Structure 1
Amino acid sequence: MSSETETVEDGEPDPGAELTTGYGSSPGVATGPVKIIEDIEEADRIDEGDVIVTEMTAPDMVPAMKRSAGILTDEGGMTSHAAIVSRELGVPAIVGCGDATDVLRDGQRVTLDGQKGTVVAADAEGEAAEEADPGGSRDVEGGGGPPTTATEVKVNVSIPDAAQRAADTGADGVGLLRLEHILLSTSKTPEKYVADHGEEAFVKEISEEIRKVADAFYPRPVRARTLDAPTDELAELEGGEEEPHEHNPMLGYRGIRRSLQEPEMVKLELRAFKRLHDMGYDNVEVMFPLPNDASDVRRARELMDEVGIDRKQHDWGAMIETPASIRAIDEIIDEGIDFVALGTNDIVQFMLAVDRNNAQVADRFDDFHPTILEAMSEVIEACNENGVDTTITGQSGSHPDMAKFLVEKGITSLSSNIDAVDEVRRVVARAERRLQLDEARKNVDDPGPRLG
């Protein structure tokens, strides 16, 4: 009696036999030959249409990821590098498989479903990789174009080369442009890059990459976040041997805490913003990651002043990602910020004590935990009372249920993954209509005092 996993005489799995599973992190279905990458130096082996199979992707692998038909990783969760970048590139991906590098072999043809998280054996004579359609072929609600919403729907961008694809979604701007992916793509740590090429070259490199995004979206705003790369990622780059060894880099020397310890380096990043402002890019805004309190934000503001960024002309803000920053939101607002961004990937990680890159506890990463929802509500309420814009930039901002919840709480905007912009926009429009309807019904039930 045959079964789905029964193999043919030559030892090959039957077409359709399940080979491994993981977390579907970038939707789409693709078929292609496996290329197992054990070291970053092997990334050049990836040809158009290959399926990358690796323990974990790294920033140096982005060019190879662009060429691939699909991506499979042993480790990582829904907020890992592989998950974020693959969604942005529109490449189907599955993360946290655990055993993909062991159970698959070079040249083996597989079909992966980046929505379901399944990998099955493909027919050896099957077709080449299918074109991914991450967003699906759904019609936009109403049939006459995207709905107009009072709550803005923005998009997250990590790779400047994907900026036009992101802009074509019609998003209201970029809620998060991650500078670390720009810096890490140089294959050198920032310190090594400056040592080899000089400060001006470093400033120009950053500004020209941000400019690609600013051009694609102009005049829509682009909020770019200063460096927030954990030390283990920097350690993989040239010059990385100087990076400190940390047992848990996600809790370590990253974000604003590193920037304030190395002010001359972050001032080079800020000079890149100033360069763009001087060129007329008034849509570029500065955002600082991982502050704990008003003191962190104040010192970052002082660094902006030192490089000559005009805060009256250009909006700036801070990520709210730690329990401390949530508790200190009123004091942070008092420092003069124009906006805050709820970084739910880190809010969940720190509040629930769940390492977001650890596949072993990925099932404990709960964006909808009551304490998370309560914390975000408190931040939104405080900001609304003080005229400060709010947005959400984490992975959960792409989830329809989260979008509905945040609209009801009064958030200013949501920033989602590229593939989720249309769906989020529909959910936001529906939630806004529901709020209007509820308000109208309340007025009918309680019309108030009559005149005369």
Structure 2
Amino acid sequence: MDEPGSQYALSLEEIGSEDVALVGGKSANLGELAGLDVPVLPGFTTTSAAYDRYLAETDVEESIAELLDGLDPDDVPDLQGRGRRIRALFESAEMPADLERVILDRYRRLASETGEAEPVVAVRSSATAEDLPTASFAGQQETFLNVSGERELLEAVKGCYASLFTDRAITYRVDRGFDHFAVKLACVVQVMGRADRGCSGIAFTIDPDTGFRNAVVIEASYGLGELIVQGEVTPDRYVVFKPTNGIIERTVGSKERRMVRRDGRTAVEPVPDRDRDRVALSDERIASLATYARRIEDHFGRPMDIEWLLDGVRDELYVVQARPETVHGGERERSIRTYRRTEDGEVLVEGVAIGTAIGAGPVRILSNVGDMGRFERGDVLVTGTTDPDWEPVMRKAAAIVTERGGKTSHAAIVSRELGIPAIVGAESAVKVLRDGEPVTVDCTEATGRVFEGELPFEVHEQPLEEIPGTETDVTLILGDPSRAFSLSRLPVDGVGLAREEFIVTSAIGDHPLYAIERGESERFVEELRAGIAKIAAAFHPRDVVVRLSDFKSDEYRNLRGGARYEPEESNPMLGWRGASRYYDPDFRDAFRLECEALRRVREEVGLDNVIVLVPFCRTPEEGRRVLEVMREFGLDTDGMDVYVMAELPSNVVLADRFAEVFDGFSIGSNDLTQLVLGIDRNSAKLAPLFREDDEAVERSTRALIESAHEADCRVGICGDAPSTVPGYVEFLLEADVDSIAVTPDVALQTIVRVAELESDL
């Protein structure tokens, strides 16, 4: 026999994912989690029958229908007025006596379970159309925190019911074709976790920007999680590689403020300086959270969007919400859409890019939701931050720019779902940008940029089913780790050249010896490790060839502190570079940092697909010295492949000898052309003579391939020639090269061309 009142309220243990129609998506998913090995705070949920009972007893449904008749969701002032009147109907009605009795009985059971006379709880809305695979309804209804006492609980339940008719919820249902009365609301009532004494955040089991599926992306900040969603703080960001549970990157956010409990209410207070610059979660907690996230994803069989907290009193992690990720979580993409600006312009502001698209239009600066009547479809929304009340206007924007917020802030989440490019954390955007001025918002790189004027751009869509397979590997030349996850969708065979130099210049900036002198060796290693790991994780298990640092002395001098460590050479191109540095007493300590970064990538993150490439190695003996130093610095050269860059005539002439030292070759066509023809590749005067398809260069290339294959070594090419020289791909296939590395912009065309040529050979 059913327990009296069970039609109106159920414990989380009594429900599961099949009960969405009864208790809504949020409650159903929490009930499902309670049956897994995932920590969930104790609580109960009201049901859709309770909501129906409230409507029937209070007789508000007819009034709601009248107020929604003839609604135009684009008429924002009218929408706001109607929504306000509907919510007032809910809040002024009396809770039916039988419903009140059931809710309070469940609350008293929680009191008994926790040993508290009036347990502090969180009351969250759970709509029956919420957290579906095709519609998240995230943030559409209200959450009430720090609710204590029976009267306050009943008022919170009524507030949740009323929030089914917030302006954003009404608009969301209209846009997606949901009947307003077909959507019902339940309320999850859970013991409040003490995140105010710990931290909280969000975890995606997929990269929310690119759809890369092998990562768990976690954001964390101190206190209750509302400030992250509201975009009021810059949280920490951690990326975990799913197959190994290794941490790819840790980015420390500023975490300036936190929301805490004070006298039964929430308050916002500054975070002490000592806590801002350290990570909110330990590596052990990050790994545990990633494990829970993967467990949840495996159970539901799709990517998930998870809210969590670390209870600072109990010192325990808890999952407080799990819903399907709706932007990338459905059917896998069948095409690749890429955006590219065709003109450059002046950068006005920068921030964190959300999505990978470009948008343009006139700036419309709004200071609060009351200004939304000024906004026209196609404007670029510029504001401090957004919350769910902004959604009716966000859906009309060509792009969105906010001064605050991280990758899981409200503006970021909604812009992804709407497919609108957005930049968050663009400090001073409201001051710098001018209302009405035309701008272009470019989110094609990790740093989003707002350009002056409406610049032309191209959109290219390539169906993946039209890309043929090839016998010869086609790989990428890649330096920027921020592009790795999005580029991983390309049907390539891995990365033929990942340049350490880009990571050093863009993420670190210091000469390695200067970093050591300043006591910042660990920062240097971690930044380098994170950059390499992101590229390797993106293409795992495909091979990623990482070239050791190949700065010339003049380039090293341009790094911070570089001038004190670098000689002034008359011809740096032929000077102290590549392999000759690694064993030199004047550079060994710097090389140790590179080796340690690579060791962590392979051993701690577990990315065994990394192949190390040694550049500018003049003799086989020099190669042996480099391998010896690598082993001394902790790299297992027997357990991983190490290639040599074939870019010197000596590499060609002594290919058989180099094959005794290294596991493979990667031809550097730029330096090989320079040294075979005796041409300074930086000379504008000699540029017409610099030809990778010169007969001498091609004969050298062919000879290298033949000698390497005789020694059973693989040979790839990673210079510019395959991307820029007409007919060069044909030559490489005829020479029987094993792999061709090209820049991402020509990867798809190269694959098609290679397939065509292979069919003719």
> What TM-score, normalized to structure 1?
0.66
Relative distance call for 1:30 and 1:188 in structure 2 (3 A) is same
How many angstroms apart in 2 are the aligned matches of 1:321 and 1:259? 18
Relative distance call for 1:311 and 1:410 in structure 2 (3 A) is same
The residue number in structure 2 matching 1:75 is none
Is the CA contact 1:48–1:68 (under 8 Å) kept in the aligned structure 2?
no
Of 524, 540, 543, the match for 1:202: 524
How many angstroms apart in 2 are the aligned matches of 1:29 and 1:213? 24
The residue number in structure 1 matching 2:512 is 190
Q: Does 1:394 align with 2:697?
A: no
How many angstroms apart in 1 are the aligned matches of 2:340 and 2:681? 23
Deviations 1:9-28 (A, max 9, x none): xxxxxxxxxxxxxxxxxx97
The residue number in structure 1 matching 2:695 is 370
Deviations 1:51-84 (A, max 9, x none): xxxxxxxxxxxx9xx9999xxxxxxxxxxxxxxx
How many angstroms apart in 2 are the aligned matches of 1:32 and 1:308? 45
Q: Does 1:228 align with 2:557?
A: no
How many angstroms apart in 2 are the aligned matches of 1:376 and 1:402? 11
Is the CA contact 2:578–2:615 (under 8 Å) kept in the aligned structure 1?
yes
Partner secondary structure for residue 359 of structure 1? coil
Compare 295-304 and 356-365 and name the one that shifted more.
Answer: 356-365
Q: Does 1:248 align with 2:571?
A: yes
Relative distance call for 1:183 and 1:32 in structure 2 (3 A) is closer
Q: CA deviation at 1:272?
A: 1.2
Q: CA deviation at 1:266?
A: 1.4
Q: Does 1:406 align with 2:732?
A: yes
The residue number in structure 2 matching 1:72 is none
Q: Does 1:308 align with 2:628?
A: no
Deviations 1:114-133 (A, max 9, x none): xxxxxxxxxxxx96212246
Of 330, 333, 337, the match for 2:659: 333
Q: Does 1:160 align with 2:481?
A: yes
The residue number in structure 2 matching 1:148 is 469
What amino acid is aligned across from residue 342 of structure 2 in structure 1? Answer: A
Q: CA deviation at 1:254?
A: 1.3
The residue number in structure 1 matching 2:615 is 289
Of 312, 328, 350, the match for 2:675: 350
Of 742, 745, 759, the match for 1:416: 742
Q: Does 1:277 align with 2:589?
A: no
How many angstroms apart in 2 are the aligned matches of 1:351 and 1:220? 32
Is the CA contact 1:400–1:423 (under 8 Å) kept in the aligned structure 2?
no
- Let me know the Cα RMSD of the aligned residues: 2.7
Partner secondary structure for residue 457 of structure 2? coil
The residue number in structure 2 matching 1:214 is 536
What amino acid is aligned across from residue 158 of structure 1 in structure 2? Answer: G
Q: CA deviation at 1:48?
A: 6.0
Bigger share in strand: 2
Of 348, 356, 362, the match for 1:47: 348
Q: CA deviation at 1:276?
A: 1.2
Q: CA deviation at 1:145?
A: 2.8
Is the CA contact 1:339–1:390 (under 8 Å) kept in the aligned structure 2?
yes
Relative distance call for 1:162 and 1:29 in structure 2 (3 A) is closer
Q: CA deviation at 1:184?
A: 2.0
The residue number in structure 1 matching 2:247 is none
Q: 1:107-118 to 2 correspondence within 5 Å?
A: none
Partner secondary structure for residue 216 of structure 1? helix
Is the CA contact 2:496–2:741 (under 8 Å) kept in the aligned structure 1?
yes
Greater relative contact order structure (CA < 8 Å, 6+ sep): 1
What amino acid is aligned across from residue 129 of structure 1 in structure 2? Answer: L
Partner secondary structure for residue 598 of structure 2? helix
Relative distance call for 1:47 and 1:364 in structure 2 (3 A) is farther
Identity within the alignment, %: 30
Is the CA contact 1:288–1:319 (under 8 Å) kept in the aligned structure 2?
yes
Count residues with an aligned counterpart. Answer: 322
Relative distance call for 1:276 and 1:127 in structure 2 (3 A) is closer
Is the CA contact 1:155–1:171 (under 8 Å) kept in the aligned structure 2?
yes
What amino acid is aligned across from residue 30 of structure 1 in structure 2? Answer: T
Partner secondary structure for residue 348 of structure 1? helix
Compare 420-429 and 356-365 and name the one that shifted more.
Answer: 356-365
Could you list the runs of 5+ residues in structure 2 that have no partner in the other structure? Answer: 1-338, 360-451
Q: CA deviation at 1:189?
A: 1.0
Q: Name which one, 1 or 2, has greater alpha-carbon Rg.
A: 2
The residue number in structure 2 matching 1:425 is 751
Q: CA deviation at 1:309?
A: 2.3
Could you list the runs of 5+ residues in structure 1 that have no partner in the other structure? Answer: 1-26, 36-45, 50-62, 70-125, 436-452
Deviations 1:345-364 (A, max 9, x none): 11111112222223232222
How many angstroms apart in 2 are the aligned matches of 1:209 and 1:252? 27
Relative distance call for 1:188 and 1:311 in structure 2 (3 A) is closer
Q: 1:14-53 to 2 correspondence within 5 Å?
A: 30-31=342-343, 33=345, 46-47=347-348
Partner secondary structure for residue 593 of structure 2? helix
Is the CA contact 1:157–1:166 (under 8 Å) kept in the aligned structure 2?
no
How many angstroms apart in 2 are the aligned matches of 1:67 and 1:363? 37
Relative distance call for 1:164 and 1:360 in structure 2 (3 A) is farther
Is the CA contact 2:582–2:629 (under 8 Å) kept in the aligned structure 1?
no
Relative distance call for 1:246 and 1:131 in structure 2 (3 A) is same
Is the CA contact 1:152–1:172 (under 8 Å) kept in the aligned structure 2?
yes
Q: CA deviation at 1:168?
A: 2.4
What amino acid is aligned across from residue 354 of structure 1 in structure 2? Answer: I
Is the CA contact 1:155–1:415 (under 8 Å) kept in the aligned structure 2?
yes
